[in-house]
Amino acid sequence: MSNLYQGATGDWEVVIGLEIHAQVISESKLFSGSSTKFGSEPNTQVSFVCSAQPGMLPVINDECVRQAIRTGLAMGCQINLRSVFDRKNYFYADLPQGYQISQFKDPIVGEGVVTVDLEDGSTKDIGVERLHLEQDAGKSMHDQHPTMTYVDLNRSGVALMEIVSMPDMRSAEEAGAYFKKIRSLVRYAGTCDGNMDQGSMRADVNVSVRRPGEELGTRTETKNVNSIRYMMLVIESEIRRQVGVLEDGGTIAQETRLFEVATGTTRTMRSKEEAHDYRYFPDPDLLPLEFSQELVDKLAKEMPELADAKRDRFIKDLHITSYNASVLVAEKESADYFEELLAATVAKTAKPVSELGTLVSNWVTGDLFGALKKLGKGITESPVSIEHAAELLNLQVDGTISGRIAKEVFELMLETGSSPETIVEEKGLKQVSDTGAIETMIDEILAANADKVEQYRGGKDKLYGFFVGQVMKQTGGKANPQVVNQLLRPKLDG
Amino acid sequence: MTELTKLTLSAARDGLHNGDFTSAEITAEHLNAIDDAKELNTYIEVTSDQAMNMAASADAMIKDGNAKGMTGIPIGIKDLYCTKGVHSQSASHILDGFKPEYESTVTSNLWNDGAVMLGKTNMDEFAMGSSNENSYYGPVINPWRATGSDKNTVPGGSSGGSAAAVAADISIATTGTDTGGSIRQPASFTGLVGFKPTYGRCSRFGMIAFASSLDQAGPLTKTVRDAAIMMESMAGYDAKDSTSINVEVPNYEAALTGDIRGLKVGIPKEYHSDGMPAAIEKLWQQGIGWLKDAGAEIVDISLPHTKYALPTYYIVAPAECSSNLARYDGVKYGLRVAGDSLDDMYKNTRAAGFGDEVKRRILIGTYVLSAGYYDAYYLKAQRVRTLIADDFKSAYQKCDVILTPTAPSEAFNLGDKVSDPLAMYLNDVFTVPASLAGLPGISVPAGLSSDGLPLGLQLLGQAFGEEQLLNVADVLETAAGFNIKPAKWWGE
């Protein structure tokens, strides 16, 4: 497997590192009691602290600390029992304090490794350098007035986790897989909602290229990329640009770049010379952040099951296919839906989970996902409730309807929102298992098609399907296929 | 009828509790006296109506038998304490028009105990200065003048307005803040008691920050007993200040037993300086004698890193201030001077809004935190700060309290040192080390200079050793018997 990029003058190796900013799920901000609710009216979620009124002081929100520890645990990282908050000083209108409280030298979470799944089925270990807690800035709005910029401080002071990777990725695909992995981890851990369109997760993308085996090249950093697709575009466009510059005999400038959605490329934001001197120093308003190993152990014990463990359990305990298991755990909501539905189906059918795993997982990944895709909806917006879905599967398990009828009923459920039992009742879709009735029907069909019976008996085995089809046609598909088989074959063969 | 303004806090308290007079009466007299002393420029804002309302509430509290030590006592509040709806601008132009929507914890504590706010006192802008000549509202004039002189002297700084107001009997007591000596040095210059408690003893919530790791609230009072009563009200743990420390507030007044027999008083050899006026050296020796006579044991100690304290302070404090004052950018409140771009607006606003000394310290602080200089300045200063704190820890193995002069000089004439920042910084030489170590210190008026200006002696205590410190200060005060008032030359 080669990740090398072919330039005009030979191969290039790409080196990628990501700084992922993940907004912490918490009721209130990192250092004040203001709410963190997204989408509120501008400047309605602002305290005296997060608007930097004179004399106001930050007080750490313990829940944000616990969330950072949980995230560190989910990534298998070292948890630092003592860390320090520093001030990162710079002026901007949406940074009311004139500094951002962050962690510079001593972050709350240290090194770790995450394993990512690649498309060809292989895996790769990507190093995590650190995770630190910091405040988000407010939002500048440049489109509200012809000459003025407005500032919304609702986001000012909201807790962010900055997750810094090692420069371990060698392709856009690996970077995408790593980002997806981190997103899955924080979502399963319940520490970040991962909503990229709301800005809850965004990445600064560091890219450099070098000849294989040589020293690291000069990197560029593209700021605030807020989708996986964009991130991959950024990487691909940076590779092309950097290789182009180097092959033309130029040098890469260490600089900060911005992604432009319209062109799918990046442009210079500020050069190294224009880079800020942030003058980091320990925040004298805050004591070093210290907690006990007992707290870490307690949080580790309470950690929810993460995607990889869940997938393994699905395969081992529920006997579902590796493919289905991977599809289900890809999004926490899908896995949650599946598990809830499985439990509800178990309750209805009184059958063990190991017998139902395949049926339920096939239905969720096949029928339900197919329908949702057509509707353009996510699993949380599913028009079919767990209750109705379990009822549908139960009707199939207890033989009331066949698998084929179940698909029909599901279509009607999507259309009408009615319960499957009602639909089956109203439309008369109940499977016919009455052997007497079916036997009479078979006798009539065999009598009416004596020529075909002859041909069958003469060795034309394929005609068996014709007779089954005739029975199904006459029952409107409701005949229990097993019963039909049991009765039809001896009559034909006899 | 100006008798009520002459009262000490403890005498006023006793009189109020006995029903000899009302808070309304004392408050009204003080408001009249303030009106008469406008040329001292001690108050930036006088809150007369609020004062009379608060006095009425205090009188009701007393009548209902709910009186506390501070109930009904009219006091001035340094302008850097945020007081809800009232001028709170750290005497800076850049906070023009700013009135907070919240109350500082220290003033809340005082109001809860029934204290009465006369107004906001003048100060060096953002508490940066040692003469109170750096205020946007003009310099404060010390009520004290040299014998036979009609020249104005400075009251010290940065709590100069708070000091001058008590010295001129236009406030029974005042709040100050001390970052490197801003309570103790003005107390020495104006013949008052100035008390800075242990760092973390009082909440900094709602105090406009200068240097967060050093700023502490404290009272300026006429007597040590007054300081004890007022500190009990101001102090206390506050969850809103992460650096405040959760230690029970004792009854400080009860600690004034007058008995210091067997107590060890350390005399640091490094505090003898060549250029120190003979009167100060002599007063220090007298102080040693007084404490010895009271039964204390005198111990020679060494604080070897003392000479590094001033340079360390002038790195740490400006570094913190350069960041703390970044929020004054014209965007959210206070002064805004328009510009063609955001950067221009910043430049115009900060150029117009800050005074020279504030700008100087922001520049120094920005420099010492810059890439390439951080290790050589800020980091080294932090290490020296630790050594200075260790000096005190070692010293306190040998003694209980330390006695030094408060300041290397008496009050100087207005304008004498404004053009020489380094000479001005030297005022803090004896007060800064304890600030860096976070230790409590108190200045007690002990005598007069050859020019007839007051001089203070400083006692330093151990962390949260305020009770012992106040007790020794009380003994020193009694022995010194300093009861001279400045001759009134102002007003009618």
pLDDT for position A163: 98
Q: Phi and psi of B43, rounded to 5°?
A: -105, 135
Same domain, A461 and A405: no
Residue A284 CA to residue B322 CA, distance in Å, equals 13
Which pair of tokens denotes residue B330? 């014209």
The pLDDT assigned to A430 comes to 78
**DSSP label of B486:** P
Quickly tell me which residue has 């078979």 as its tokens: A442
The amino acid that residue A465 corresponds to is: G
Residue B214 burial (CB < 10 Å; 0-12/13-18/19+)?
buried
CA distances from A473 to A307, A340, A448, A482 (A): 45, 37, 15, 16
Task: Supply the pLDDT for residue A2.
Answer: 62
Question: Are the C-beta atoms of A164 and A109 separated by less than 8 Å?
Answer: no
- Tell me what percent of the residues of chain A surpass a pLDDT of 90: 68
A106, A111, A117, A120: CA torsion to nearest 10:
110
Q: In degrees to the nearest 10, what's the CA dihedral of A228, A230, A236, A238?
A: -120
Q: Give the list of residues 6+ apart from residue A314 with CB closer than 8 angstroms, or none.
A: A320, A324, A325, A328, A329, A357, A361
What's the mean pLDDT when you consider all of chain A? Answer: 92
Q: Are the beta carbons of A33 and A157 closer than 8 angstroms?
A: no
Check pLDDT > 60 for residue A432.
yes
C-alpha distances in Å from residue A353, one per residue of A252, A336, A347, A350: 58, 15, 10, 9
Convert the pLDDT of each residue in B141-183 to its tens digit: 999 999 999 999 999 999 999 999 999 999 999 999 999 999 9
Pick from B215, B218, B154, B209: which is nearest to B186 by CA? B154
Q: Tokens representing B382? A: 């932090």
Q: Where are the domains of chain B?
A: 3-262
User: Out of A335-339, A400-404, B95-99, B324-328, which region has the weakest mean confidence (pLDDT)?
Assistant: A400-404
- Does A484 share its domain with A407? no
The Cα–Cα gap between B193 and B259 comes to 20
A449/A491 Cα distance (integer angstroms): 13
Do A458 and A348 share a structural domain? no
What tokens were used for B348? 């115009």
The answer to whether residues A146 and A182 belong to one domain is yes
Give the domain-ending residue among A278, A298, A318.
A298
Asked if B131 is an active-site residue, the reply is no
End-to-end CA separation in angstroms for chain B = 14
Mean pLDDT of B218-225: 98
Q: In a 3-state reduction of DSSP, which class is residue B134? A: coil
Residue B206 in contact with residue B82, Cβ under 8 Å? yes
| A362 plus A441 within the same structural domain | no
- Asked whether residue A429 carries a pLDDT value surpassing 80, the answer given is no
Mean pLDDT over all residues of chain B? 97
> Cβ distance B362 to B354 under 8 Å?
yes
Query: Does B237 score more than 50 pLDDT?
Result: yes
The reported pTM is 0.90
pLDDT at A1 over 50: no
**pLDDT tens digits for range A277-288:** 999 999 999 999
Chain B residues near any Cβ of chain A (below 8 Å):
80-82, 88, 90, 95, 98, 100-102, 104, 204-209, 211-213, 239-243, 319-320, 322-323, 325-327, 329, 331-333, 342-343, 346, 366, 369-371, 374, 378
Distance from CA of B436 to the nearest CA of A (A): 13
The tokens of A256 are what? Answer: 């900060």
User: Which structural domain range is residue A453 located in?
Assistant: 435-493
Cα dist. B250→B231, B466, B470 in Å? 10, 9, 12
Q: What residue of A is the nearest CA neighbor of B203? A: A57
What is the percent of chain B where pLDDT is above 70?
A: 100
pLDDT value for A477: 78
Testing the interface with A: which of B324, B346, B348 to mutate, by most A Cβ within 10 A? B324
Q: How many other CB atoms sit within 10 Å of the CB of residue B340?
A: 8
State whether A276 and A346 are in the same domain: no
Using CA atoms, how far apart are residues A349 and B420, in angstroms rounded to an integer?
A: 91
Which of A298, A322, A355 is the endpoint of a domain?
Answer: A298
State how far the Cα of B369 lies from the Cα of B374, in Å rounded to an integer.
Answer: 5
Q: Is the pLDDT of residue A481 over 90?
A: no
- What's the order of all strands across the beta sheet hosting B401-405? B43-46, B116-121, B74-78, B173-178, B216-221, B193-196, B441-448, B454-460, B401-405, B264-268, B297-301
Using a CB-CB distance cutoff of 8 angstroms, which residues of chain A are in contact with residue B86? Answer: none
Residue A369, pLDDT above cutoff 80: yes
For domain B3-262, give the fold. Answer: Amidase signature (AS) enzymes (3.90.1300)
Chain B contact for A275 (CB, 8 A cutoff): no
Residues A153 and A277 in one domain: yes
CATH of the domain at A483: 1.10.10.410
For A211-220, the pLDDT digits (tens) are 998 999 999 9
Kindly report which listed range (A359-368, A444-453, B443-452, B480-489) carries the lowest average pLDDT score.
A444-453
Among candidate residues A298, A327, A347, the one where a domain is terminated = A298
Q: What is the mean pLDDT of residues A113-135?
A: 95
Instruction: Please tell me whether residues A173 and A26 are part of one structural domain.
Output: yes
pLDDT value of residue B1: 41
What is the nearest CA distance from A289 to chain B, expressed in angstroms? Answer: 11
Q: Is B158 a catalytic residue?
A: yes
Over the stretch A436-478, which tens digit does the pLDDT of each residue have? 888 888 888 888 888 888 888 888 888 888 888 888 888 877 7
Residues B390-401: pLDDT tens digits? 999 999 999 999
Do residues A150 and A141 touch, judged by C-beta distance below 8 A?
yes
Q: At A65, which amino acid appears? A: V
Q: What are phi and psi of A61, to 5 degrees?
A: -90, 110
A276 shares its domain with A172: yes
Domain count, chain A: 3
Taking phi first (over 0 means left), then psi (-120 to 50 degrees means alpha), and beta for anything else, what does residue B376 get?
A: alpha
